[in-house]
Amino acid sequence: MSDDTTFNYTYSATRQDEIDAIRRKYLPEDEDAMERLRRLDRGTAKRGTAVAIALGAVGCLLLGVGMSCTLAYGGPWFVPGIVVGAVGIMMMAAAYPVYRWLTARDRAKAAPEILRLAEELSGPRE
């Protein structure tokens, strides 16, 4: 006579951890208030940084082209080389003020939400 009433159960902690890790990949991300505050704070300087780096890099390249025209080719390229180099210097000099302006503008846009989240997280003040 066969006894089919037995119960077999195997539990593996590593297997359960793997199942939970896979399940978390497919669940919608639940961003808490602190993570949102950090993300907003980081995001305020991203655009200004990217634009300033691009402006500085292009200005540096223009300065190099102007120097090459002035020093290597000379003659008819001397004056255009000076003009191109001066434009490159102006672009490099403008990179930091542009960064500050864009960052201040983005911080002003994000300020109400950041302040609301900061107040929510810090709780009531005495």
Tell me if 78 is assigned to some domain. Answer: yes
The residue type of 28 is P
* Domain-embedded: residue 41: yes
DSSP letter at 100 equals: H
7 located within any domain: no
pLDDT of 53 over the 60 cut: yes
Domain assignment present for residue 113? The answer is yes
What is the Cα–Cα distance from 103 to 55, expressed in whole angstroms?
Answer: 15
Residue 91 falls within a domain, yes or no? yes
Structural domain including 40 reads: 33-122
Of 43, 40, 15, nearest to 118 by C-alpha is: 40
Residue 59, domain member (yes or no): yes
pLDDT at residue 1 greater than cutoff 60: no
pLDDT digits (tens, 9 = 90+) for 66-110: 999 999 988 899 999 999 999 999 999 999 999 999 999 999 999
- Mean pLDDT estimate for the chain: 88
- 66 within some domain: yes
Beta-carbon-side half-sphere exposure of residue 73 (alpha carbons within 13 Å):
14
Q: Which helix (H) or strand (E) holds 24?
A: helix 13-26
Residue 108 placed within a domain = yes
Number of domain units in the chain: 1
